[in-house]
Amino acid sequence: MHRVCVEDWMILEEETLNKLRLNSPPGGWFPALQGLSWCITEFNLPYADLFFSPHLKRISIYVSWFNTALPLSTLPTLASIISALPISSLERMAVGDNFEMLSWAHFKDPFSSVILRCGSSFTEYDARFHYRMPHWTT
């Protein structure tokens, strides 16, 4: 499998996700995964690493318009997961709408860290913020 979409409407029982975690094969469930589209929800946040692959080339991370009320207590966990993204072959990252509804301060350092660790294979970063976008200069 080369591409996985984790949408906000995708709901798996916690028991199912725990079984997936406990029975994860060496190399993970998606060892050849190259593209991940991840809609962050409070429910799927603790299981995000189940969808990571060392061959990940493209990742799109966004917050659903219907699920913008992530509890503040989840923001450090989300920042930690972003920091742990596998970057060995990452080429493109898109950060979708609605991150501005969360506190950008929680995510500036993790996203910057991921990008800086990518190296020359990384060619595209697309952040779509409607307001309160930090001003970056190159």
pLDDT tens sequence across 6-59: 765 566 677 887 888 888 888 778 888 899 888 887 777 888 888 888 888 998
> What average pLDDT does the segment 115-138 reach?
68
- Does residue 134 sit within a domain? no
Please give the residue range of the domain that contains residue 96.
3-127
59-97 residues labelled b (16+ CB within 10 A) or e (exposed): bbbbbbeeeeebeeebbeebbebbeebbbebbebbebbe
- Does residue 32 sit within a domain? yes
- Does residue 62 sit within a domain? yes
Whole-model pTM: value is 0.72
* Domain count across the chain: 1
- Does residue 137 sit within a domain? no
- Does residue 88 sit within a domain? yes
- Does residue 27 sit within a domain? yes
- Does residue 132 sit within a domain? no
Residue type, 85: L
Q: Determine the pLDDT at residue 91.
A: 92
Q: Determine the pLDDT at residue 138.
A: 42
Give percent above pLDDT 90 in the chain. Answer: 2
Residues ≥6 apart with Cβ < 8 Å to 74? 42, 45
- Does residue 133 sit within a domain? no
